[in-house]
């Protein structure tokens, strides 16, 4: 047998096997890091997308409420103060009272919630629903969490001389409303959300 034949017959040495295993381990580690990076990027994108969709859904509901405002001589169509915005809106089943509120969660952390009464078609029931909306307690089953991690929420209404902040009690239907939301750092929202909405006449 020639020298080349004897070398081929003897197989791999232990050093060659160890070198091959080290190379395979390095390749496997690099592959795992790549896959892990892709998974992390996908999860981060998914969380960001869900957060954006949630914000869009809440703002859309806010605008739908303002677009469906119902005026009557029974209760105010629109009322706001530093803590809550109350309004009456038309629905296919009657008139509904809606209250958007800020609920304190921490020292500088608030939850923006939406409470909605059952629709009504009678004057007495509408008065009762409005009174109920002024006394909503935390944990009320009709109150839903709209957004968490809110640092501040401001509502401005259009007046004859420009925008006016709804910090003190205000009753009356404005032509438009500006909503300004700012968020607790780390919530994933950059800057402020500002939305101007025309109010239904």
Tell me how far apart the alpha carbons of residues 150 and 106 are, in angstroms, rounded to a whole number. 10
pLDDT by residue (tens digit) across 103-122? 888 766 888 999 999 999 99
Average pLDDT rounded to a whole number, residues 158-170: 76
Helix (H, G, I), strand (E, B) or coil at 191: coil
Confidence of residue 61 (pLDDT cuts 50, 70, 90): very high
C-alpha distances in Å from residue 12, one per residue of 5, 16, 127, 173: 14, 6, 91, 88
Tokens describing residue 27:
């390749």
192 DSSP β-pair partners:
182
Average pLDDT rounded to a whole number, residues 145-165: 85
Tell me how far apart the alpha carbons of residues 94 and 84 are, in angstroms, rounded to a whole number. 23
Average pLDDT rounded to a whole number, residues 62-86: 90
Tell me how far apart the alpha carbons of residues 147 and 103 are, in angstroms, rounded to a whole number. 10
Q: Give the per-residue pLDDT at 45.
A: 65
Q: In the block, which residue shows the tokens 């409470």?
A: 115
Confidence of residue 44 (pLDDT cuts 50, 70, 90): low
More confident residue, 169 or 8: 169
Flag whether pLDDT at 149 surpasses 60.
Answer: yes
Tell me how far apart the alpha carbons of residues 116 and 102 are, in angstroms, rounded to a whole number. 15
Tell me how far apart the alpha carbons of residues 14 and 35 are, in angstroms, rounded to a whole number. 31
Closest CA to 129 of 65, 177, 76: 76
Tell me how far apart the alpha carbons of residues 139 and 61 are, in angstroms, rounded to a whole number. 21
Q: Give the per-residue pLDDT at 114.
A: 95
Q: Give the per-residue pLDDT at 158.
A: 83
Whether the model clears a pTM of 0.85, i.e. scores above it, the answer is: no
Tell me how far apart the alpha carbons of residues 90 and 70 are, in angstroms, rounded to a whole number. 5
Tell me how far apart the alpha carbons of residues 58 and 186 are, in angstroms, rounded to a whole number. 19
Flag whether pLDDT at 126 surpasses 70.
Answer: yes
Percentage of the chain with pLDDT > 90?
A: 32
Flag whether pLDDT at 200 surpasses 80.
Answer: no
Tokens describing residue 153:
């929420």
CA atoms lying within 13 Å on the CB side of residue 144: 7
Q: Give the per-residue pLDDT at 9.
A: 57
Helices (H), 68-122: none
Q: Give the per-residue pLDDT at 7.
A: 52
């Amino acid at each position: 047998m020639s020298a080349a034949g004897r070398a081929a017959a003897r197989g791999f040495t232990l050093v060659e096997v160890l070198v091959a295993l080290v190379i395979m381990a390095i390749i496997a580690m690099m592959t795992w890091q790549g896959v892990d990076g892709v998974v992390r990027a996908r999860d981060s994108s998914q969380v960001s997308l869900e957060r954006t969709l949630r914000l869009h859904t809440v703002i859309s509901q806010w605008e739908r409420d303002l677009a469906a405002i119902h005026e009557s001589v029974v209760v105010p169509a629109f009322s706001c103060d530093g803590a809550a915005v109350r309004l009456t809106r038309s629905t296919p089943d009657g008139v509904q009272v809606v209250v958007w509120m800020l609920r304190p969660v921490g020292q500088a952390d608030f939850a923006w919630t939406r409470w909605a009464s059952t629709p009504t078609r009678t004057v007495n029931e509408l008065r009762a629903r409005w009174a109920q909306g002024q006394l909503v307690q935390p944990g009320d089953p009709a109150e839903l969490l709209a957004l968490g991690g809110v640092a501040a929420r401001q509502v401005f209404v259009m007046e004859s001389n420009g925008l006016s902040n709804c910090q003190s009690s205000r009753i009356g239907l404005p032509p438009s409303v500006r909503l300004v939301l700012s968020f607790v750092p780390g919530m994933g929202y950059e800057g402020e959300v500002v939305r101007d909405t025309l109010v239904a006449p």
